[in-house]
Structure formats: C-alpha cells, structure tokens
Chains A and B, each alone.
Chain A
Amino acid sequence: MSNKIIQWIDHRFPFTSFVKHELTGYPTPRNLSYWWNFGFLAGFVLVLQVATGIFLAMHYKADVALSFDSIQHIMRDVNYGWLLRFMHSTGASAFFLVIYIHMARTLYYGSYRAPRELMWWTGQGLLLLLMATAFMGYLLPWGQMSFWGATVITNLFRATPFIGEQVVIWLRGDYTVGDATLTRFFALHYLFPFLIIGAVLVHLVALHTVKSSNPSGIDLAAKDNIPFHPYFTIKDFYGLGIFLIVYCIFVFFLPNSLIEPANNIPANPMLTPNHIVPEWYFLPFYAILRSVPNMVGGVVAMGLSVMMFAFMPFLDRSRIPGGAHYRPIFRLQFYLFLLDMLVLGYIGYIPPTSQSILIGQVATLCYFGSFFLVPFVSKAEERWLIKRGLPPDVQALIAGESREKSQSPLRRRSGDKK
C-alpha cells in the first residue's frame, strides 16, 4: 500500500530520488568529527526558536503600555508559559553559541576555501540576519536594557553620511525609541526567521553541491564517503542529545543567568541604567565599537569586525590542506584569535576604565591585525612547510586519494572539479 502511494507521488514529484540523492545516498566524508555536528544543531535551534516564538506571540502584546506586563502574564499565568519563554530566551544564546562554534570549526579547518566560498558567504549573511533578529527580539520585553540597548544601537546609524539623522528616525519610526519602534521590531522579529529559513535553504543547496569539507582538508575519493543516512543522522542525533542536556540545564536551572537583571525593570526613558551592556554574544563587537574614540570610526570598525570573516577566502593564500590541522602557524593564529575574542568580550562586559579602554584598543588592533596578517603569514607558512616537507601522513593521504580518484573517475562526486 505505502509502496503504491510512493509510486503515485514519484510520478508527480521526485520524492524517492530526492531522499536518495540528499539523504540515503548523499555522500559524506566518513572522517567528520563531532565539530561537524553544529550545522545540524543550528538548524534544530532555528526550528525550536520559531516554534516557541509562535506560541509566545499568541500571548505577547507589542505595546509599550502592555508588553512588560504581557511577559509577566506569560511567565506566571499562561500554562507552561515560563517554559516557552525560557526556552526562547535561552534558545537565543544557544543559537549564537552553536553558530560561533560552527564558524570556528570552518575557520580552523579552512572549510571556507574553494569550492566552498559561497557557503561561507551565505553563512555570513545568515549571521547578520541572526544578529538583527536577536537584536530586535531583545527589545520586545520592554525592560530597561531592551530600551537602552535599542536606543544606543539605533543611534549608531547616525554615522550614515549626510542622512544619518533621518535614518535613525526612519528606523525608530519616532524621534526616540517608543511604541512605533516596538511594534515594528515585533513585526520584523516575526518576519526575519523566515528569511533565515530561506537563506538556510540556499546554504544547504550550496552544501549539497560542493559536499561537506572534512578534517583532512583533502577532497576524499568515493571509497571514503559514506551515505549521510544512517551514519550521520544517528551521529547528529547523538550530538543533539548532548546539546539538549546542556540546553535544558540552562532552561530549567539557570535561565535567569542569561537575562540581565536590569531587564526586569520596565523601560524608563527618563532613567539611564548605570551600565548598558549588550547580550554576551555581542560583547566582542561592542568592545570594538567602544575602543574607537571617534563615533563614525567606531561604527565602521564594528561593522567591519563582523564582516571581516567574509574576506577569509581571499586572505588565506595557503594551498596546504586541512586548515589549521596541518598548519602550525595558522593554528597558533587561530587560538590567539579566539583568545583575543575572549579578551574583547570581557572588555565589552566591564564598565570602561582608562586601563580597560587601552586593553580594548590593543585587542581591537590584534583582531583586525590577525586578519590582515593572514595573507602574508599563510604564504610564508606554505613556503616553509613545502621546504621542510609536509608530514608523511599528509603526503600519503594526498597521494592515496589522487590515485584512488584517477582509477575511478566515474565515482566522482558532483562537487568535484571536472
């Protein structure tokens, strides 16, 4: 019976061939480590955020007079409203954590290199959409941090040449952050996840064209590729289980640790909080903004700091496979960059003193410096590695894979160069 139904569908829609091509027959490198789980996890968190968000929207009221109360209504009176709300607020942090690990993996293993530049760039677009969505969602509880965060960030658009003032008013819908801002942020916060879903589909189509990268950094021959299902479906589900345990510890036991105390005070335009801090996932970029004494310069630096990743395919000139895995100097650079991010995050969190501003400025220089050094360092490192001789296991791997491929050209994957 079910066979007949599937036949009926297959006549009209490529169901079986789709499943075969994208799932049961989709070739995936067998050597993927658990660092490759995070793309799936990001997709899962996206679904979780959309699902909880839709139910929250049924009880939330986007009105400056009502929104703070409506959150408390959700937290206290709606059946399991507290669960929905904490899943959603924790989910935002989880989303960024997963995405940052996903990006760090790409950087470490050099997965942004040819032929995966478009994946990296669509990913960059997704990051921007995610940041915009998170920022707009943060205004909705209408707490003190919501209000003042939105005020400070929308103010940054004053840096737009010639029409800065108008752009800020256009964004806010008013001269200050107010009811018009809240309602439009709510509308856009509901819209953007669907744009993200669209961009994710583009990201996935690109992935299924070029196929996954792998820790060796070498395009594997057919014998080293295994079907996605069942091997990676089960591996992803196992990873999901571990992720959910960590996520649920936060949802059930530490949900308030991710909510700034000041955001439990209703927004008050007449009273600036002592210390305006963004959510943890914006802290490094916020520190860069504050490190530049000039306002326009700070905004440009902050925008650039997020966009710098997009240049990586051009900056990394090395042809040594495997990203940081086989490249000791690039690896060192990678870890120093992570350390620098942590320093920036800390500087963004603490109230600025003359000393912390100085540290922030040095860390900002290191941030951009590490990108600008990549072309020179990668080229020099490549020369040095070739002169010194690649490690024997890399050489064996490259030789073995190319032999395998030349013997069985028919088994090439669609993403391989012709």
Chain B
Amino acid sequence: MKKFIVLLMLCCTPSALWAEEAKLETVQVETSVAAIERGAETLMINCHSCHSLKYIKYRDLANFGMDKKKIEDWRGDQPLDAPLSSQMSEDAAVQSFGVVPPDLSLMTKAREGGASYVYSYLLGYYSTPDGVTGNHIYPATKMPDILGSSGVTEPAAREELQKKAHDIVSFLAWAADPHEQERHRLGYYVIGYLFILTLLLYFVKNQVWSKLK
C-alpha cells in the first residue's frame, strides 16, 4: 500500500525535467545516402568509441548503399554481420562517466522531440564559469561536449558544427527507422490505390442505391 502511494505520488509530481525543458531547435533530417553516409562517418569518429548501435549491422550500411571502402575501414576484422557495438566495455564506460552510454539505434525515436531533440542536445552545450560544460537540453548529462559546441561562437565554425550535428542526426534517424523511405514510397501507392478504389465504390454505391424507389 505504502509503495503504491509513493508510486502514485511519483506519477503525480510534475518532474523537474518537464518544468525546465529548454526550447528545441527544429530540424528536418536528410534522407539522401550521401548525407547519411557523412553522418555515419562523423558518428564513427566522434560517438562510436563509447556508444553502440546494436540493431545496425555493417551489412545494413552496405545494403543501404554506403561506400564499401569506408565500411571496411570501420569494421576492421569484424564480420559484416556484426552489430555496431561500442569500442569501450561497459565497465570502462561506467568507470569514466558513471553510466553506461545508451545505445543509439533508437535514439531519435526514444526522445520526445525526436531528431530535433538530439540535434539541439548535441549543440546545447555551454561553458559554466567554473570551467566545466553543461547542457541546456539535458542538464543531467554525463556526456562530454564531444563536438565542442560550447567553445564555438564564430559564425562560420558554428555553421560547420551545425552541419556536422545535422548529419549525425540524419544518420541516427535512418538507423532508428531504416524502412522509413520504403514505407513512404509504398504508402503513396497504397493510398493512391485506395483513393481510386473508394471513388469506384462510391459510384457503385450510387448506382446500386439509384435503383431504390
């Protein structure tokens, strides 16, 4: 009973996170192979040492049409069917950061705001007066400012950084939902077919009902 009350109260207290939620920058992810490949490359350099993408295999990257040569470089001596597991062991990660870095395969689906959230988070770092970095979007984060967004203020460099983050997010969005483009393509056909079918059914219906006195 007591446990339940605590639980119910937990559900009922407005969370601190909700109240402090910072405004997200809205981004549209890119769906071209080139952009997603650029994102994969940036991710492999900056994120992959700590973060895994366990639902993505190297073969998936190849099937999507990414450069075979690059995939060879990334996977080294791992088999083509190996998932993109992180290079750091969980224990080592806990030792360095205090938490296991989350798997990124579903990251753009697993946060309110999706790709915009991840994008804003990557660029949401700032330097505090005492020399450490904080994050506007997720203040409790343990991740260091890996893209260096807290130190970059110069417009040209900032733009470069935004492009980098945009590519990463585009790749992550693809990784979270690799069949999205296929789904949309099929969707247009299905709905187009249904439109014609429904229109015909409407005519048949009128025809049938017109026989009624």
Contact = CB atoms under 8 A, between A and B. Distances in A.
Q: Do A and B bind each other?
A: yes
Interface of A: 30, 69, 72, 75-76, 82-83, 86, 151-152, 155, 158, 164, 226, 230-231, 234-235, 237-238, 241-242, 244-245, 248-249, 251-253, 255-256, 259, 261-262, 264-265, 272, 274-276, 290, 295, 351-353
Main secondary structure of the interface of A (DSSP, over half): helix
B198 A241 contact: yes
Given A82-B179, A248-B190, 7 more contacts: A76-B179, A237-B201, A242-B198, A245-B194, A252-B191, A295-B1, A295-B4
Given A75-B179, A230-B208, A264 B17 contact: no
Contacts of A83: 183, 186
B: contact size bracket: 35 or more
25 contacts: A152-B11, A164-B1, A234-B204, A234-B208, A235-B209, A238-B205, A241-B194, A241-B197, A242-B198, A244-B198, A245-B195, A251-B187, A256-B109, A259-B109, A265-B110, A272-B7, A274-B18, A275-B15, A276-B11, A290-B11, A290-B12, A295-B4, A351-B14, A351-B18, A353-B14
A246 to B, nearest CB: 10
A245 B15 contact: no
A241 B183 contact: no
A256 B115 CA distance: 13
B184 A253 contact: yes
A11 B186 CA distance: 48
Contacts of A290: 11-12
A231 B213 CA distance: 13
B183 A252 contact: yes
B110 A274 contact: no
Nearest to B1: A158
Nearest to B107: A264
Contact of A72 (B7, B14, B105): B105
Interface of B: 1, 4-5, 7-8, 10-12, 14-15, 17-18, 55, 60, 105-106, 109-112, 114, 176-179, 183-184, 186-187, 190-191, 194-195, 197-198, 201-202, 204-205, 208-209, 212
Contact of B208 (A231, A242, A245, A272): A231
Nearest to B182: A82
